[in-house]
C-alpha cells in the first residue's frame, strides 16, 4: 500500500512539445506548483523544452525539489535543464526510465506523445505484474486521453486486461483530485497469469 507517509517523490511523464491548446501548459504549470506546495519532489525527464520544462519550472518557482533524468545523447542536443535541484545523466533511454521509476513513489502522465505513452505503459505493466505497487495516474486534460480511456475499457471487454488491473490506472481531470487519490491508494491488481477467460 502507498499512502501519504510513503509518497515523497512523483514522476511526471509529459510531452517535449507544448501541444495545440493552452490548457496543456496551464495544467502542467498547476501540477508543478501543486507538487511543490505539498512538499512532493518532482522526478521527470530532465529537459527544458515543452511541457517538461513547464512542470519543472513551475515546481522550482515554488521552492520545490526537482530531479531530472536524461540520457547523455539528449544532453548533447542542448535540451537538458540546467537549473534543477539535481540532474542525473544516464547512458541510455532504458537506464533513464529505470532510474526515474526507482526514484519515484508514484507516476503521473500529462498529455504527450509516443515517449509519454511508452513511459506510462511500462510502469503500468510493471504494476500489473506485481513488480511495484506504486500508484499510476493519467491526467485527462481537456479530454486528451478520452479515446485512450475508451480503448482501455475495450481491452477489458475483450478479456485482455482484468477489470482489477484496469483500475490500476487512476484517471482524473484535475491535478489536485489525482494527488488526493494517490494518498489513499491501495493496489488491487490480480495476477496476470494464468487463468482462462471465464475466470477473468
Domain regions of the chain by residue span: 9-150+159-199
Q: Are 171 and 184 in contact (CB under 8 A)?
A: no
Average pLDDT over residues 19-32: 98
Mean pLDDT of all residues belonging to the chain: 91
> Could you tell me the strand order of the sheet in which 86-90 lies?
86-90, 66-71, 41-44, 9-13, 106-109, 136-139, 169-172
Coil, strand or helix at 55? helix
The cell numbers describing 129, all together, are: 505484474
pLDDT at 1: 35
Q: For cell 533524468, what's the residue?
A: 69
pLDDT at 183: 87
pLDDT, tens digit, 9 for 90 and up, residues 146-200? 999 999 999 999 999 999 899 999 999 999 999 999 988 876 655 555 444 444 3
Give phi and psi for 76, each to the nearest 5.
Answer: -65, -20
pLDDT at 185: 85
pLDDT, tens digit, 9 for 90 and up, residues 78-95? 699 999 999 999 999 999
pLDDT(3) > 80? no
Q: For cell 505503459, what's the residue?
A: 121
pTM: 0.90
pLDDT at 194: 43
pLDDT, tens digit, 9 for 90 and up, residues 65-81? 999 999 999 987 769 99
Q: How far is CA 20 from the centre of its chain?
A: 21
Crossing angle of the two packed helices 22-37 and 175-183, in degrees rounded to 10: 40
pLDDT at 84: 97
Residues 6+ apart with CB under 8 A from 155: 161, 166
Number of helices (H), then strands (E), belonging to the chain: the values are: 8, 7
Rounded distance, CA 110 to CA 139, Å? Answer: 5
pLDDT at 200: 35
List % helix, strand, coil for the chain (3-state, nearest 5).
45, 15, 40
CATH code 3.30.70.980 for 9-150+159-199 = no
pLDDT at 189: 56
Among 61, 72, 57, smallest CA distance to 37 is for 61
Amino acid at each position: 500500500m502507498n499512502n501519504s507517509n510513503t509518497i515523497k517523490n512523483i514522476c511526471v511523464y509529459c510531452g517535449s512539445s507544448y501541444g495545440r491548446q493552452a490548457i496543456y501548459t496551464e495544467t502542467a504549470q498547476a501540477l508543478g506548483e501543486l507538487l511543490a506546495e505539498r512538499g512532493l519532489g518532482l522526478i521527470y525527464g530532465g529537459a527544458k523544452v515543452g511541457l517538461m520544462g513547464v512542470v519543472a519550472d513551475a515546481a522550482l518557482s515554488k521552492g520545490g525539489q526537482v530531479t531530472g533524468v536524461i540520457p547523455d545523447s539528449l544532453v548533447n542536443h542542448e535540451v537538458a535543464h540546467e537549473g534543477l535541484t539535481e540532474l542525473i545523466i544516464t547512458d541510455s533511454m532504458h537506464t533513464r526510465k529505470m532510474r526515474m521509476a526507482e526514484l519515484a513513489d508514484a507516476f503521473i502522465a500529462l498529455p504527450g506523445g509516443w515517449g509519454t505513452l511508452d513511459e506510462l505503459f511500462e510502469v503500468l505493466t510493471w504494476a500489473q505484474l506485481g513488480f511495484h505497487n506504486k500508484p499510476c495516474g493519467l491526467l485527462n486534460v481537456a479530454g486528451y486521453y478520452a479515446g485512450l480511456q475508451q480503448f482501455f475499457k475495450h481491452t477489458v471487454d475483450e478479456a485482455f486486461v482484468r477489470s482489477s488491473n484496469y483500475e490500476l490506472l487512476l484517471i482524473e481531470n484535475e491535478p489536485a483530485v489525482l494527488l488526493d487519490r494517490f494518498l489513499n491508494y491501495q493496489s488491487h491488481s490480480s495476477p496476470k497469469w494464468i487463468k482462462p477467460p471465464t475466470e477473468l
